[in-house]
Structure 1
Amino acid sequence: MPRPPRLSPDEITAALNGLPAWSGDGDGLRRTVELPSFRDAVDAVVRIADVAEEMDHHPDVDLRWRTLHLALVSHSAGGVTDLDVQLARRIDALLPG
């Protein structure tokens, strides 16, 4: 599978305008979300894992009690690609605002 092209800084800025819960730059997209309980956070990780497997594109996930720290980057492309933006949108559909 060919590696996806990196997004330009302007493309990343435009994408982030549509992803208000996320921040980032050419090195990656990041989001932190606090869930009501540890179990809710674990369940969210499982839902994210299902989407990541479906897309064959996997986020870095750091679970701290009930807080998730998510990071998206296309390592094969050395930066942010459209796959990261698509995954961020899919994750947003799974998590509270």
Structure 2
Amino acid sequence: MIAYQSLVDHVTAHEGVGDAEEARRAIGAVVSVVAPRIAPDTREKLHAALPPALQPADQEGAAETGATDSGDVARRVARELDRRPERGLYLTGVVLSEIAESSPDLREELAASLPDELAAWVTDPVGAAGRSDTGESGAPSRLDEDTLRAAMGRLPDWEGDTHGLTRTVRLPSDRVRPLVDAVERISRDLDHGVHHEVTDDGVAFTVRTASIKAVTTRDIELAERIEQAVAEVGSGGRPGP
């Protein structure tokens, strides 16, 4: 059986996890969301491996219909934790990887019941962690389509896909340089690059993580900061240094 405190300690040790309390809440949320969505035989083995603190009060009728995707899991976990979906995706991967590390005989069956992105955390936890990004570390992870779609709900003026996002800003020519300067300061502050191209009636910004040629949570954070700068410069103000 997996030792509960050991599981909490191992999840807390991940760079992107805030503290033991966040680890405990994440473990509970992930188990409650994932367990009903995996194959029945695997679910039984998972429950058998879990400590009493993680056992559901009533397992009857717990099974959900059909497999789900990583974006759906991320949204459900994030909702339980009051976090954004991309944060939910990261914490789900961390918890699943540590469950697999603590109970290796579950690894293959658990991976087979999970969407590919989450299965990677189970079968290759070191590699998956190296590709992860919570917006708090420098290691990038590709966002899946559903998680990206949820994030773009907060960015209605951006367009693109999992390979890159672009925002075209139309504004007077005398406001272009202040905006570009502001975005370059943001880029340096986040230590994450952004491409810009001056157009006939403004400027276009593109965000993507070049090392994996995809959009990551760091790109979403950068896009949100760019939106703030657009609002300030477009209204005639100048963001502070």
| Separation in structure 2 between the aligned mates of residue 83 and residue 8 of structure 1, nearest angstrom | 14
Q: TM-score, normalised by structure 1?
A: 0.90
Match of 1:11 among 143, 147, 155: 147
Query: Can you give the 5+ residue segments of structure 1 that lack an aligned partner in the other structure?
Result: none
Residues 86 and 2 (structure 1), Cα distance of their counterparts in 2 relative to 1, 3 Å cut: closer
Q: Where do 4+ consecutive residues of structure 1 move more than 4 Å?
A: none
Match of 1:53 among 164, 177, 188: 188
Task: Supply the distance in 2 between the matched residues of 1:23 and 1:59 (Cα, whole angstroms).
Answer: 15
Structure 2: gaps (5+ residues): 1-136, 235-241
- Residues 55-87 of structure 1: per-residue CA shift (max 9 Å, x gap): 011111001244111110001122000010000
What value does the CA root-mean-square deviation take over the aligned residues? 1.6
- Letter of the 1:55 partner, please give it: L
Alpha carbons of structure 1 residues 48 and 2: separation in structure 2 relative to 1, 3 Å: closer
Report whether the alignment pairs 1:95 with 2:236.
no
How far does residue 2 in structure 1 lie from its aligned partner after superposition? 5.5
How much identity, in percent, do the aligned residues show? 31
Q: Deviations for 1:14-40, whole angstroms, at most 9, x for unmatched residues?
A: 11111011111011011101112x221
CA distance in 2, matches of 1:2, 1:56: 8
- The number of residues matched between the two structures is 96
TM-score for both structures, normalised by structure 2 = 0.38
The answer to which structure has the higher helix fraction is 2
1:21 aligns with 2:157: yes
CA contact (8 A) 1:3 1:77 kept: no
Return the index of the structure with the highest Cα Rg.
2
SS of residue matched to 1:4? coil
Ranked by relative contact order (alpha carbons within 8 Å, sequence separation 6 or more), the top structure is: 1
Q: 1:34 to 1:76 in 2, by over 3 A?
A: same
Answer 1 or 2: which has greater strand percent. Answer: 1
